[in-house]
Structure 1
Amino acid sequence: KLDRKALPAPDKSAVVSRAYEAPQGEIEEALAQIWQDLLGLARIGRHDYFFEMGGHSLMAVQMHNRIREKFDVDVSLRSLFEHTSLTDISDLIMTLQVAQYSNEDRERLEQKLSLLTENELLALISESDANE
C-alpha cells in the first residue's frame, strides 16, 4: 500500500501553463464536454492535454467508449495515448469520419468543392455552422 500522506505536496510550478483557447468547432466542443465530464473540470482548452489534466488509463478507456458513442468512429486506445491534446484527438476523429466515406463519394465531393470559389466555400461553411 502507498501512504499518500507521506508523499510531498505537488509542485504547482511544475505544471505547464498555456494560455486558454476555447475549443473550436463541433468536434472540439463535444470532445471538451466529454473531458469535462470525465475529469470533473469546468473548462478545457483546445491545447490542453488529457493526462496533464488528471486523466489516467481507466479514464482513457471511458473516453474511448464515449467517443465511439458520440462520433460513431473507433479511435484506438493506443491513439489516445499517442495523441493526447484536445486538438490532436479532434483531428484524429475528423480523419476517421472522413475515412468512412467511400472513395467514390469523396471524389464526387472533392470535384464539386473544387468548382467553388473561396467566397462560396466560406459561405457554405458559415451556412453549415449556422444550421448545427
Structure 2
Amino acid sequence: MLPFLRYQPMAQVPFSHHHVIVSSRLSMVFYPSLIHFLWFSLYYYDRHFGRFLEFFFYHFLRTIFIRFLSFLLFYLSCIPFYFYFFFILLECDLCSILLLHLGRTQLYTEIFGHRVRLRVK
C-alpha cells in the first residue's frame, strides 16, 4: 500500500477536508471548457495509476479507429463528472477564481458554505 502513496497528492490531508480541497481545486481548473476537463482527467488518472495510461495509449491505440472509440468511451465516462463539476462551478465565486489566475495571490472563496483558501503553486 505504501509504494502507491506517491501517486496520491492528497494522501496526507485529513479525509474530512477532501471535499473542500477537491472542489476548490477542480473549480479553478474546470471552468474554461470540457476539453480542459478531459486533459486534466487524463493527467489525474495517469498520476494515480502510475503511468498506465501513457503505456496503454502508446502500445494499444495506434489506429485512428481505435483511438476514436477509446476517446468516445472516455468522453462518455466523464459526462456525469462534468455536470458535477459544473454544479461546483455554480456554487463558487468566479470573480475570485479569475483574480487568482491573474494575480497569483492567496484568495478566499466560499464553496458550499465553507470559506476555502485558494492557492497557486
Fold match by TM threshold 0.5: no
Higher strand proportion, which one?
2
Higher helix proportion, which one?
2
Higher-RCO chain (CA-CA 8 Å, sequence separation at least 6): 2
Give the TM-score normalised by the residue count of structure 1. Answer: 0.27
